[in-house]
Amino acid sequence: AQSVTQLDSQVPVFEEAPVELRCNYSSSVSVYLFWYVQYPNQGLQLLLKYLSGSTLVKGINGFEAEFNKSQTSFHLRKPSVHISDTAEYFCAVSELQQGGSEKLVFGKGTKLTVNP
């Protein structure tokens, strides 16, 4: 079974500083990776996804992530964060289930807090 490890449970940064949220996954023949953001008491919003092709994926709100197969990582980055980026961020990998359907396996999440 797939597993996702988000190495940092909390990441505090100052406004306009760069940030990297780390994510590692268990290896697989093929993998599809996602980053989601969750604001308090809300559902999840897709930031970006990697399916194939270029290893550098650009998403919404200025975020990007790089797929590194050899290191089985998919770290999320933003060069300059805003107060409004304060939220919980989840890395996820798709996993095929018996019968051919698939499901998402989530990491434990990283709480990003942007301070003024």
* Residue range at the interface with another protein (CB under 8 A); choices 12-20, 21-29, 76-84, 107-115: 107-115
Residues that contact another protein, how many (by CB under 8 A): 25
How far lies 111's CA from each of 9, 20, 75, 90, in Å? 6, 12, 14, 9
Closest separation between CB of residue 43 and another protein, Å?
4
Q: Which of residues 31-70 bind another protein (CB under 8 A)?
A: 32, 34, 36, 41-46, 49, 51
∠ CA 107-113-116, rounded to 5°: 165
Q: Which residues in this chain contact another protein in the complex, by CB under 8 A?
A: 32, 34, 36, 41-46, 49, 51, 90, 94, 97, 99, 101-109, 111
